[in-house]
Amino acid sequence: MSALVEQLNEDLSEVVARARVGLVQIHNGHRGAGAGAVWHPDGLIVTNAHVVQRRRPQVVLADGRTVSARLLAADPDHDLAALEVDATGLPAVTLGASRRLRPGQWVVAVGHPWGIAGAATVGVVIGLGADLPGFPAGRGEMLALSLHLRPGHSGGVVVDESGQVVGINTMMAGPDVGLAIPVEVAKRFIKDALGTP
Amino acid sequence: MTGALKSLSDALAGTVEALGPGVVRVEARRRMPASGVVWSSDGLVVTAHHAVEFEEGISLGLADGRTVNADLVGRDPTTDLALLRAEGSLEAPKWRGPEDLRVGHLVLALARPGRTVQATLGIVSALAEAWQSPGGGQVDRFLQTDVVMAPGFSGGPLVGAGGEVHGVNTSGLLRGLSMALPTPTVERVAAGLAAHGRIRRGYLGIGAQSVQLPAGLEAQLGQSAGQLLLSVEPGGPADSAGFILGDVLVAFEGTPIQRMDDLVALLTGDRVGQTATVRLVRGGTVQERSIIVGERPR
């Protein structure tokens, strides 16, 4: 392979490594695991509301520890939830800016599809906005991505080509379009729910 | 990080931005809009035939947010292309033939089903010689990609690494495959539609099926099969030329006809009204007849 492809591979593996920082598994009893991301080293975790079906889900941290989490806030309309675990010094995500994303830009999504921990998938930004035609209406602003999200991806992160979080994996729209909640929407949710940025 | 991924990502997003003005929203059906790409700056826009349900009241959404009215110049269901004419001038992208494309090359599919331009990325999956669509349309190259055809992407441009348009994407030509009509096909169909409002196809007025030829004829003609006439339209071109049921058609203008596709490929629009020589087998003997090619009814 050419030097250019080798450079791309090197960058992609670095981006995947950065995307996995702060990635956790969220268990709800028997029904498989969703994903979540540590937003603050002192135990704040953000995921999808539909991933949290119990008030005290079990969370598997990056270091392998399983801890019990408390539900701090949930917004089913935006499909967002905030959890808290008793831990400090956790590796946390680096938040980016979804508003600056452009169609055609490269993104990587990580989660636990079909239970495969930390699996990565790559795609590009199709579009972003609240009025994406053909996609579910009334869900507010969304990122449309040309990548496949599977059960277990939900609550995991989408990062841009520098490894910064730009969205939260949520659902598929049709067979080939993945939808993510823009990170700006999640930032607003955390600010409104917890009063802190 | 080497910066290569960032450069690639920026280049892709930059290409989308640069091509955006040439990609329009086509509102010509009840459900969601499709996309179109500006063919020439005098307002001609190509789109997918299957996305144009209305013949009147078509409007185009432009990159600057304006909506303008457009007329349907014509459509060709066989290549799934339609030509629209917008009021006023539009910004046309650079069009380019498929000669620089190779299997494995990165390509972008652009679309504007909503207000903003959208994009998906893929590679050229297959690139082969000319082919005939299931509807009998002549396509200059078989150009298949793996770009995701998200809702509303049909009729949008396929863009190569050089930022030039190599064809028009459609998911309506071969089910389940992302196909692109290469620029030479778009050019030919657009010229035909602009001149006649339709793509003319030759017509003989026959129904036929393939039959094996007897060993003696096979040796004499150098082909193993022909087309047995099962019906001849009364007053049609074949009837007027004296063809009868049971004739076996074996060549058209010197080209052997074994399958129906062989014949359909030869019945191009430029033969309409022209005299052609057909070789056929009647009662075990080979003979030649002249026929005036008709035009396929719409």
Location of each CATH 2.40.10.120 domain in chain B: 1-199
Q: How far is CA A50 from CA A169, B53, B59, B154, in A?
A: 12, 39, 40, 33
Count Cα atoms within 13 angstroms, Cβ side, for A85.
28
Task: Write down the pTM of the prediction.
Answer: 0.85
Q: What is the pLDDT along chain A (197 residues), one digit of tens a residue?
A: 689 999 999 999 999 999 999 999 999 876 678 999 999 999 999 999 999 987 789 999 999 999 999 999 999 999 999 999 999 999 999 999 999 999 999 999 999 999 899 999 999 999 998 877 777 777 789 999 999 999 999 999 999 999 999 999 999 988 899 999 999 999 999 999 988 65
Question: A106: helix, coil or strand?
Answer: strand
CB contact under 8 Å between A133 and B149, yes or no, is no
**A27 a catalytic residue:** no
| Contact between A115 and A31 (Cβ < 8 Å) | no
Per-residue pLDDT, B79 = 94
Residue B10 confidence (pLDDT) above 70: yes
Predicted confidence band of residue B200 (pLDDT cuts 50, 70, 90): confident
User: Quick one: residue B149, left, alpha or beta (phi over 0 = left, psi -120 to 50 = alpha)?
Assistant: beta
Location of each CATH 2.30.42.10 domain in chain B: 202-295
Q: Which of A11, A27, A40, A50 is catalytic?
A: A50
> B140-154 b/e with 16+ CB inside 10 Å = b?
bbbbbbebbbbbbbb
Per-residue pLDDT, A197 = 55
Per-residue pLDDT, A170 = 93
CATH superfamily of domain region B202-295:
PDZ domain (2.30.42.10)
Q: List, in order of start, the domains of chain A with CATH numbers.
A: 19-92 (2.40.10.10), 98-187 (2.40.10.10)
Nearest to B16 among A7, A102, A129 (CB): A102
Cα A141 to chain centroid, rounded: 15
ipTM of this predicted complex?
0.88
- Mean of all residue pLDDT scores within chain B: 94
Residue B97 confidence (pLDDT) above 80: yes
Chains A, B: CB contacts within 8 A come to 104
Show the tokens assigned to A39: 């937003």
For residue B116, what is the nearest residue in chain A, using CA coordinates?
A: A127
pLDDT tens digits, residue range B21-34? 999 999 999 988 99
pLDDT tens digits, residue range B143-194? 999 999 999 999 999 999 999 999 999 998 988 899 999 999 999 999 999 9
Residue B7 confidence (pLDDT) above 70: yes
Range B1-199 has CATH code 2.40.10.120: yes
Instruction: Report the C-alpha gap between B173 and B131 in whole angstroms.
Output: 12
> B179-189 b/e with 16+ CB inside 10 Å = b?
bbbbbbbbebb
CB contact under 8 Å between B150 and A102, yes or no, is no
pLDDT tens digits, residue range B203-224? 999 999 999 999 999 999 999 9
Instruction: Report the C-alpha gap between B126 and B109 in whole angstroms.
Output: 16
Instruction: Report the C-alpha gap between A69 and A66 in whole angstroms.
Output: 10
Nearest to B118 among A105, A127, A160 (CB): A127
Mark out chain B residues that contact chain A at CB-CB < 8 A: 1-6, 8-10, 12-17, 32-33, 108, 113-121, 148-152
Radius of gyration of the CA atoms of chain B, in A: 23
Token pair 């990170």 is found at: A183
| Contact between B215 and B94 (Cβ < 8 Å) | no
Could you count the other beta carbons within 10 Å of the beta carbon of residue B16? 25
> Which chain A residues have a beta carbon less than 8 Å from that of B8?
8, 106, 161
Show the tokens assigned to A122: 């790559």
Token pair 């303008």 is found at: B68
Cα B87 to chain centroid, rounded: 25
Residue A162 sits at the chain B interface (C-beta within 8 Å):
yes
> Which chain B residues have a beta carbon less than 8 Å from that of A176?
148-150
